[in-house]
Amino acid sequence: MNKWLLRGLVFAALMVIVRLLQGGLINVWETRAGLISIVLVAAFAVAVFVWGLVDGRADAGANPDPDRRGDLAMTWLLAGLFAGVVSGAVAWFIGLFYDNIYVGGFVGEVTTFAAFTALLTFLVATVGVAIGRFLVDRKAAQASSADDRADTDVFAAVRADGYDVAPAGTEAAPQTSPVALAERDEKQSPAADDEADTTVERRDTT
């Protein structure tokens, strides 16, 4: 099943449920019709946002390169259009048998109301996708910065021990640490002994 079709079916069903709840609650609390409608639409938007956020995080995690990421905007646009048209048609059909749901004519349901549902779904989901990708990218950037700092700390520790790290293509500077001087003396001692032996032999020969 296509991604947009799955999302479209889920949110079409959710919108039908929202409208059924809206009709039932308004019939009980008629004076709070506006508040009821706002709360139900907000709940629908939260569900869309959460799914968009999950999509954005999953896409950014699977494709660190932004140029290789999926076109989730088109996915959610198609899902919103499908959810709007289908939920409008289903709500109109339910209204033929159930009086507690507020519906208009068929044309209005599959055009005006469908456009509202599609726009709401698309905008909220797009925001969720953008935030999800941003969170993943920021975490990756922080991890990369931490690795760079760790490398810098290693080189700093080497310099503190008396070992200078020479750039590529240049001669290393003489080491002046106690360990380096001791090693140099050990290497020079055999050469000095050989020179002394040679000098003694020459004197004996003379």
pLDDT at 99: 85
CB 133 within 8 A of CB 59: yes
The answer to whether residues 87 and 161 touch, using CB atoms and an 8 Å cutoff, is: no
- pLDDT at residue 200, as a whole number: 46
| Contact (CB, 8 A) for 11 and 78 | no
For the chain, the structural domain boundaries read 3-160, 174-206
pLDDT per 10-residue tile (average), the chain, 206 residues: 90 96 91 93 97 92 79 93 96 92 91 95 96 86 56 53 52 53 57 52 52
Residue 86 · residue 109 · CB < 8 Å: no
Please state, in angstroms and rounded to a whole number, the distance separating the CA atoms of residues 65 and 75: 19
One-letter-per-residue 3-state SS of the chain:
CCHHHHHHHHHHHHHHHHHHHHHHHHHHCHHHHHHHHHHHHHHHHHHHHHHHHHHHHHHHHHCCCHHHCCCHHHHHHHHHHHHHHHHHHHHHHHHCCCCCCCCCCHHHHHHHHHHHHHHHHHHHHHHHHHHHHHHHHHHHHHHHHHHHHHHHHHHHHHHHCCCCCCCCCCCCCCCCCHHHHHHHHHHHHHHHHHHHHHHHHHHHHC
pTM over 0.75: no
Scanning the structure block, which residue is given the tokens 């690795």? Answer: 147
pLDDT of residue 83: 96
